[in-house]
Amino acid sequence: MFIKNAVPILNFLYKTINHQVSNLVDYSASYIFPDIFYELTDAYLEYPFKSKNILGHTLKDELGLTVTINQNIDDNSRKLFTSAHELGHVVLHKNLMPTFDFTNIENNIDLSYVEQQANWFAANLLLPTQVLYAHIIEYHTIKQIKRFSGISMESAKYRIDAVLTKKYWIQHPTLIDAIIKDYLECDSAQSVKSSTLYTL
């Protein structure tokens, strides 16, 4: 299911990013939004939801697939993550949507897992592992990564945590927290070069 659904997005991503990015540190998924929704869905809307708790919504019904993003999101990094999250639903959960009510958590015991998958997709799209490596090799601080990629500090920390856990097999939360804290305190290329994260 994932591979079949992912083919259009991979083609679109390749074409779009290939025109925008000359090297990995220039990568930003912000280049693809909202255009990718016009490619993969039947309708894309930005609507001013009254509730601040609703950041985005993906709906599949008899009219097709619709993605709606809350127009009242005033934080650009939050809006970017929300767009990537909803794209995750489009790519990963398009075939599940008729059986899930994404607005009613109590009636869907598997909803939290579906939301976690969309968050995972968003985080990986916004800061792929190789892009994170490229930033670290270039001695970029976390603030510079945030500026280049458009993601929030939380998303960047999450991605570093995921790389340490899954790529380096570090399983001690205290050690992971110490490595991330050390990197977050870096304020220059020299301090990044001497950080534990860089030496890994």
> What predicted TM-score, i.e. pTM, was given to this entire model?
0.85
Indicate if 15 and 70 belong to the same structural domain: yes
Residue 181's contacts (CB-CB under 8 Å, 6 or more residues apart) are: none
Domain boundary (95, 126, 157) is at 126
Indicate if 109 and 32 belong to the same structural domain: yes
Indicate if 8 and 106 belong to the same structural domain: yes
Please compute the mean of the pLDDT values over residues 17-43 and round it to a whole number.
Answer: 83
Quote the strand ranges of 22-162, DSSP E.
Answer: 43-47, 56-61, 64-70
The structural domain count of the chain equals: 2
Report pLDDT for 3: 46
Indicate if 156 and 103 belong to the same structural domain: no
The domain of 138 spans: 129-199
CATH number (domain holding residue 115): 1.10.10
Please compute the mean of the pLDDT values over residues 160-184 and round it to a whole number.
Answer: 94
pLDDT at 1 over 50: no
Indicate if 71 and 134 belong to the same structural domain: no
Indicate if 54 and 105 belong to the same structural domain: yes
Domain boundary (106, 126, 146) is at 126
Please enumerate, as own/partner, the contacts of 101-106 that have beta carbons within 8 Å and a separation of 24 or more.
Answer: 102/57, 102/58, 102/59, 103/57
Domain boundary (126, 150, 172) is at 126
